[in-house]
Amino acid sequence: MDSRVIAFYIVTALMLAGIDFYYTGRAFRKEEPFAKYLGFSALAAGIVTLSYMCSIQTENYRYASIASSVYFAGIDWMLVSLVHFVYRFTDSHTIRSSERFRKLARIYALFDTAVMLVNIFAEIAVHYVREDRPIAFFSYEMKPLYLMHLAFSYILVLMVIFILVEK
């Protein structure tokens, strides 16, 4: 892969993370009660962008594992915050069953974050396989706990879409 392409990717990722952090600041300065959820989602999106960039740039196994774990946990928190934001923004937060779902989502996100942190040392969710490529030096060997992470992420995305379509 050409070094100019890699440099372009790095600059683009840094710009996107900068935009995420800019909107994080703007959201936290707003008075609306739902703005903090948008701020948390934007903050997590910036962390996801940076950690993904780090995970595909490093050739060091441990650094790739750490960056990927931050990336996976960041996705959880970005989506949980986005679900909270959409519930509040669309006034769906007045429905009692939504409160239970959002609490369960937070609890599972805490569990998944713990799994991803332990994975750095014990590989209980993802095993990284070295690949001979000019970028993204490791591929993922998924285990059941990682598949649960994926299912959780897709459920949250579907929940956001469902709420928006319903409103």
What confidence tens digit (pLDDT) does each residue in 90-117 have? 887 656 667 788 889 999 999 999 999 9
DSSP H helical ranges for 30-60: 35-57
Cα 10 to chain centroid, rounded: 19
How much is the pLDDT for 90? Answer: 86
Q: How far apart are CA 27 and CA 32, in angstroms?
A: 9
Q: How far apart are CA 21 and CA 99, in angstroms?
A: 28
pLDDT score recorded for residue 6:
82
The pLDDT tens digits for 42-52 are 999 999 999 99
Residue type for position 25: G
How high is the pLDDT of residue 162? Answer: 86
CA distance 106 to 39: 16
Query: What local confidence, expressed as pLDDT, does residue 93 receive?
Result: 61
In DSSP notation, 129-141 reads EE--SSS--EEEE
Instruction: Give this prediction's pTM.
Output: 0.90
> Rounded to an integer, what distance in angstroms lies between the CA atom of residue 53 and that of residue 81?
22
pLDDT above 70 for 140: yes
- CA-to-CA dists, residue 14 to 46, 61, 135, 156, angstroms: 9, 23, 17, 26
